[in-house]
Amino acid sequence: MQQRLYLIRHGQTEWSLNGRHTGSSDIPLTTQGEDQARRLGEQLCLVRFAHVFTSPLRRARETCELAGLVASAQVDADLREWDYGEQEGLTSREIHAVRPAWNLFRDGGSGGESPTQVAGRADRVIERLRRLEGNIAIFSHGHFGRVLGVRWIGWSVQQAQHLLLDTASISTLGLDDKHANTPVLAVWNYTNDALRAEP
């Protein structure tokens, strides 16, 4: 069976709503985030998953549970969010007020994880997943998910700055069997709102 990874970012939290960098802080979903997770379940129930993995952080586990996939889920510590160190809880504006040229994907978190360390985690996840068959659901986070996406297709961590990953989004990673099983991002950052017309 052709392998397809469904990368699901957790639903909205208070900090994601306010643009605060949320690494190891175990922030729960908002009421809207819970609703988003249930809507994800309505989409994901159409897919038969051979494997389900989730970050150990509460917001990802809650999303997995409300989406109806927690019963078969395995917790994978490598799926946790980037450790931002001193930037934890701060918005980009607050960080840039002190470090105007700061770029997470190039500089990492001060006292937290470097881009090389996060890439190493993503590469470990990919190595394990490539040994599996069938559809795989992965409940994870915004910045780590972006790194996982670029590492899947062999790009550098810094290229992840060009990919957005909204809360409660679904992305699919797979292989193009028509081109020597080349890794591809088949769908990226799909949300229920993606096809809504602009006001």
| pLDDT band of 199, cuts 50, 70, 90 | very low
User: Phi and psi dihedrals of 76, rounded to 5?
Assistant: -125, 110
Q: Confirm whether 65 is a catalytic residue.
A: no
The CATH architecture assigned to 4-190 reads: 3-Layer(aba) Sandwich (3.40)
pLDDT tens per residue, range 126-178 = 999 999 999 999 999 999 999 999 999 999 999 999 999 999 999 999 999 88
Residue 184 pLDDT > 60: yes
Average pLDDT over residues 51-58: 98
User: Phi and psi dihedrals of 151, rounded to 5?
Assistant: -70, -30
| pLDDT band of 194, cuts 50, 70, 90 | low
Does residue 186 contact residue 177 with C-beta atoms inside 8 Å?
no
Q: 82 labelled as ligand-binding?
A: yes
Q: 30 labelled as ligand-binding?
A: no
Residue 7 class from Cβ within 10 Å (0-12 exposed, 13-18 middle, 19+ buried)? Answer: buried
Q: Confirm whether 10 is a catalytic residue.
A: yes
Q: 22 labelled as ligand-binding?
A: yes
Q: 61 labelled as ligand-binding?
A: no
pLDDT confidence of residue 179: 84
- Number of Cβ within 10 Å of residue 56's Cβ equals 13
Amino acid identity for residue 198 in this structure: E
CA-nearest of 189, 142, 191, 105 to 16 is 142
Residue 83 pLDDT > 80: yes
What is the average pLDDT score of the chain?
93
pTM for the predicted model, two decimal places = 0.94
| pLDDT band of 180, cuts 50, 70, 90 | confident
Q: 84 labelled as ligand-binding?
A: yes
pLDDT tens per residue, range 106-126 = 999 999 999 999 999 999 999
Name which of 40-49, 68-77, 189-198 the model is least confident about: 189-198
Q: What residue ranges do the domains of the chain occupy?
A: 4-190
Helix runs in 45-114, H state only: 58-66, 92-98, 104-107
pLDDT above 70 coverage of the chain, percent: 96
* Catalytic residue from among 21, 62, 81, 143: 81
